[in-house]
Amino acid sequence: MASGTKARYQRFAAREARGHSPSYERLAGGVADDPGLLALIDELPDERRQPNLLLAAVRFLDGPVGGDYAAFREWTVTHWTCVRDTMLERRTQTNEPARCAVLLPLLARLPQPLALIEVGASAGLCLYPDRYGYRYDGGPVFGDTASPVVLDCATTGPVPLPQRLPEVVWRAGVDLNPLEVTDPQDVRWLECLVWPEQHERLARLRNAVRVARAEPPTLVRGDLDATIRDLVAAAPAGATPVVLHSAVLAYLPPEKRESFATTMRDLACPWISNEAPGVLPAVDHRLPPLPDPDTLLFTLALNERPLARTSPHGQSLEWLPTW
């Protein structure tokens, strides 16, 4: 329904883009007030109507997103067939390597060495926690100090900051649509998923792609629940298989999330989730109430035991006290 799409673009403008991307706030707000463009978007399946997907598709095709709404509108309507095809072909699968900063303390405490398995890996940039540098609370760089990627993270609470990097001997991932760090078009799409004003994120992405290109991960195409058993079984003997995911389960309907959780309970290996509230009820039930229920923080959990609250892009890590 057009009204649903209108509300989606309004919400995106007011709640997601505001304060982060003036251009996306302006353009999404313009779309929300444009019945003609809303009607075109409504020809797409519901899951392909996302503001992020439309805006990234226009940028991917070199359309104008930096100017006023009228220029964006004219270009988008004129090139609608190409925009629509790109929105049908590609997905919102932003890959944020900075999430490694919130995963690291936990990874470093597991029995080493590790075989990392990421579900919903996108291009697999979160599979390189041992190849990045980390600056917690503005302190000295820790980790791979020669890495072109240095991740800043502010901490609160009793975060068990690691003394050494985890030893990763194997990295693999699964995604419905794996992106290849060696494919220029895939990398360009990843770049278009970073919002226009987020120059620091773009630089980080490009540097993380350089790191991954030196040692591309093994990524399989498929559904996470259907493939996870085989991936865990493929981990080399002598390494701890660790399944991890961040910003993934929200894409699944509740029954599929529960099915995956059942599979993971059965596999009984370390399972690290870094997800929004509401997607893993067993984690939510064990969380203390949020001081501010409107804060959009993820929960970092190990085998459904919540350990920390994290900023969605890895900028902050608040370790929970044991209660």
Site residues (CB under 6 A) for ligand SAM? Answer: 91, 93-96, 99, 119-122, 126, 174-177, 223-224, 245-248, 251-252
Q: Which is nearer to ligand SAM, 34 or 175 (CB)?
A: 175
28 or 249, CB closer to ligand SAM? 249
CB of 255 to ligand SAM, least distance (A): 12
CA dist 264 and 101 (Å) reads 24
User: Closest separation between CB of residue 288 and ligand SAM, Å?
Assistant: 25
Q: Are 24 and 13 in contact (CB under 8 A)?
A: yes
Q: How far is the CB of 36 from ligand SAM (least distance, A)?
A: 30
Nearer to ligand SAM by Cβ, of 176 and 296: the residue is: 176
CB 74 to ligand SAM: min, Å: 30
CB of 65 to ligand SAM, least distance (A): 20
Distance (Å, rounded) from C-alpha 234 to C-alpha 261?
20
Q: Are 188 and 132 a contacting pair, CB within 8 Å?
A: no
Question: For residue 164, what are the CA distances in angstroms to 13, 97, 104, 108, 167?
Answer: 41, 19, 10, 7, 9
Cβ atoms of 83 and 57 within 8 Å: the answer is yes
Measured in whole angstroms, the distance separating CA 143 from the mean position of its chain's CA atoms is 22
Instruction: Closer to ligand SAM by CB, 174 or 301: give it.
Output: 174
Query: Vertex 322, ends 320 and 323: CA angle to 5°?
Result: 110
Note whether 105 and 163 are within 8 A (CB). Answer: no
**First and final C-alpha spacing in the chain:** 45
Cβ-based nearer residue to ligand SAM, 38 or 300 = 300
Cα dist. 77→36, 89, 204, 298 in Å?
A: 9, 18, 33, 37
Instruction: Using DSSP bridges, classify how beta strands 298-302 and 305-310 pair: parallel, antiparallel or unpaired.
Output: antiparallel
CB of 123 to ligand SAM, least distance (A): 8
- What angle separates helix 254-267 from helix 224-234, to the nearest 10 degrees? 20
Minimum CB distance to ligand SAM smaller for 23 or for 246: 246
Nearest distance, CB of residue 318 and ligand SAM, angstroms: 18
Q: 37 vs 107, which CB is nearer to ligand SAM?
A: 107
